[in-house]
Structure 1
């Protein structure tokens, strides 16, 4: 049963009309939020995401033991999987497989990546390009937890617009990111309570059905292209450029080449990650209503 069916709402709605009883194969994504021009909450959510990422990377780069301990705690303790949105992967119901302390430790260790030390990685959505095991579901979990306050505000705005939602409101405690204190804090607020748990509405423009910054496109468009530029030779005035298919055979490790070529380019004053992020932003188009309905079909 969709949200609109549960509340007898007719006509189009601005939120993702998910199936309440199970998870839906859509994912909140920082790139989608950053490029959402319709939601007034997008700027606040993007700033909150940036605040968390900056603090974790600061702690990772710090020689101070207290900062190291704090950074590890930030990625282990606050990023439990949120199931209020009913988005992401799961096998049964809307419980998912969760972020968990094990993956938190893995991410913290992975942030020893020289791209982090050199200040090249700046956003959560960039992590899958370079770090294995960080895919769309984990990015979605992290994003949802971090922009939770904006999603609460949005849900309560929708409850005003659709008063039937107010009949199910219940107070609960939530762990959220506080950019002022640069730490996780606990707040209390009300949300609709449906199907045995709170319901958090998500603006249509904040979701995607795929990774928007992904390792293979970066490898094809930027990493291997930079190798071609390094190896170009001119014979009798004609450019001799290695073929992409030959480079694919020579460099089968996609993320390994992504890292090494990004560092090489940075040494020469070019930030390939920034170029890729801008490229994706420039070409970004949100999912249309037909695709959203198809991905949330019963």
Structure 2
């Protein structure tokens, strides 16, 4: 199956994810990767603005009380399968989980129930925080949500690529105008606009900048659990030896303890407990993720 560059006859390195045209590709748009990316600009900044204003609006509806709950839940009901990117796997996305409306209900229920306390104190404030606490929200659903929320910046990036590479409109290749739903960060509402996209294999194609899509999420529930959550639990149970050395329970032993088994319930419970001790585990985790990504990028540059 041809990749985008093969399909259009583009040679050399390209600044977009070069996925196969006619198949789902096992890469997922990662909102935290976008946030930490160096570009391309202004598209990265626009995408972050979209994702931040969207969750801010949803969480404001949680904080402002029952009169705003209908609006908050409605904001989470406007997702459709983002097949334009050819990323992810359709059986794992919205359709594989019973539809976007059901996914929106999961998120809203969690925001107004389990994690409401984290929302109210401002610990949970970014789109990439959701997979850490909401059951069923993993790389596939996160990718689908993110793609729809940042659809307009992705479309603007695609337009820039079409302008940069004449192959997108050469020969029989065409660009057509489609009416698409987008998040409007100024109005803080879902909107509809006309967007010009290249057509590949009879379907519109949305290009994704390199570095914005990954095989796994930078901020996954499992990674959060293995690092920040268990590290905090270690400190909770640590004791000083007679020689003044801090003795910590091995993480493998902690996992067997009641209340510390792997899962989002543990993530939530320990995160709340840490906050009561004036420690923000999400901030700690994000610092860890950023440092690891920076080290990986440095190692990659050194190897090159």
Output the TM-score relative to the length of structure 1.
0.89
Q: CA, structure 1 residues 177+91, in 2 after alignment: closer, same or farther (shift >3 Å)?
A: closer
Task: Say if 2:137 is the partner of 1:134.
Answer: yes
Summarize the alignment of residues 57-206 of structure 1 with structure 2, pairs less than 5 Å apart: 57-65=59-67, 67-76=68-77, 78-90=78-90, 97=96, 99-112=99-112, 113=115, 114-166=117-169, 167-206=173-212
Total equivalences in the alignment: 286
- 1:294 is aligned to none
- Asked if structure 1 preserves the Cα contact closer than 8 Å seen for 2:106 and 2:134, the reply is no
The 10-residue stretch of structure 1 (206-215 or 255-264) with the greater mean CA deviation from structure 2: 255-264
CA distance in 2, matches of 1:194, 1:241: 56
Runs of 4+ in 1 over 6 A off after TM superposition: none
Runs of 5+ unmatched residues, structure 2: 298-304
Output the TM-score relative to the length of structure 2.
0.87
CA distance in 1, matches of 2:178, 2:154: 15
Which residue of the other structure, out of 224, 243, 249, is the alignment partner of 1:242?
249
- Asked if structure 2 preserves the Cα contact closer than 8 Å seen for 1:208 and 1:286, the reply is no
CA distance in 2, matches of 1:107, 1:51: 16
Task: Say if 2:224 is the partner of 1:218.
Answer: yes
String of CA shifts for 1:148-194, please: whole Å, max 9, x gaps.
Answer: 11111111111111112134111111100011111100101211112
Higher relative contact order (CA 8 A, sep 6+): 1
- Asked if structure 2 preserves the Cα contact closer than 8 Å seen for 1:52 and 1:179, the reply is yes
User: Is the partner of 1:6 in helix, strand or coil?
Assistant: helix
Q: CA, structure 1 residues 21+242, in 2 after alignment: closer, same or farther (shift >3 Å)?
A: same
String of CA shifts for 1:227-269, please: whole Å, max 9, x gaps.
Answer: 2222222342444432322211002243222112211221222
Cα displacement (A) at 1:117: 3.1
Which residue of the other structure, out of 55, 58, 61, is the alignment partner of 1:56?
58
Runs of 5+ unmatched residues, structure 1: 289-298
Q: CA, structure 1 residues 97+253, in 2 after alignment: closer, same or farther (shift >3 Å)?
A: closer
